[in-house]
Amino acid sequence: LKIKRQEAQKVFNKSKADINKEMKKATEIEAEDFEEQTTQYQKMEEIKNEEILLRVGREKEKNEFRKEASDLKNKRKKTEKKAERKEREIEKLSTKHEKYENETRASALMTTISMIYISVCQHLLETFFKRKDRAGNTDRKDIQTARQIRRHANRTDYLPRLSE
């Protein structure tokens, strides 16, 4: 865009210099009679009209360049906004992924703790509540206590809940 502007300015300057040369030439010639003077003035008016058209054309070019620069600036801003939105979206996704990983680890840890608790309860059942009376029968009270412990070992409501 900058190069285009410079080239347009060079063309304008050259055209303006040509017009100024023609104007100088026209003023240097001294008209001897009325018809020559009229012709000379008409020629000068044509040269001035060319200059005006040249300036109008240059202003139009400048306006086009300004518009083009403005469009590029707006496009760049739009692209930057899109990039910022994408960055925010990526940040949100990484946060969600991190939360999911943490919940997965917590869930695995709770499962492990639960399995250890169940194993300890089963060991206690096997070790302490397998007493037999003199006749070789298991005590009825011990059987009820063992059932309660087994039921408690299979419950998971004592574990903290993970957030969804």
Q: Please give the pLDDT value at position 73.
A: 92
pLDDT digits (tens, 9 = 90+) for 113-128: 989 988 888 887 777 6
Note whether residue 76 is domain-resident: yes
Please say whether the beta carbons of 16 and 54 come within 8 A. yes
Element (H, E) at 134: none
Segment 89-146, tens digit of pLDDT? 999 999 999 999 999 999 999 999 989 988 888 887 777 666 555 555 555 566 666 6
- Predicted pLDDT at 49: 86
The answer to whether the CB of 84 falls within 8 A of the CB of 24 is no
Which two structure tokens, joined as six digits, stand for 81? 């906004």
Give residue-wise pLDDT tens across range 11-52: 888 888 888 887 777 766 665 666 676 777 787 788 888 888
Residue 84 belongs to some domain of the structure: yes
For residue 27, what are the domain limits? 2-154
pLDDT at residue 156, as a whole number: 56
Burial 131-162 (b: 16+ CB within 10 A, else e): eeeeeeeeeeebeeebeebeeebeeeeeeeee
Query: Do the beta carbons of residue 54 and residue 17 sit within 8 Å?
Result: no
What is the structure's pLDDT at 31?
59
d(CA 17, CA 75): 38
Could you tell me the pTM of the whole model?
0.43
> How many folded domains does the chain comprise?
1
Q: What is the pLDDT of residue 119?
A: 86
Q: Cα 163 from chain centroid?
A: 30
Q: Is residue 164 part of a domain?
A: no
CA-CA distance, 147 to 29, in Å (whole number)?
129
**Residue 162 falls within a domain, yes or no?**
no
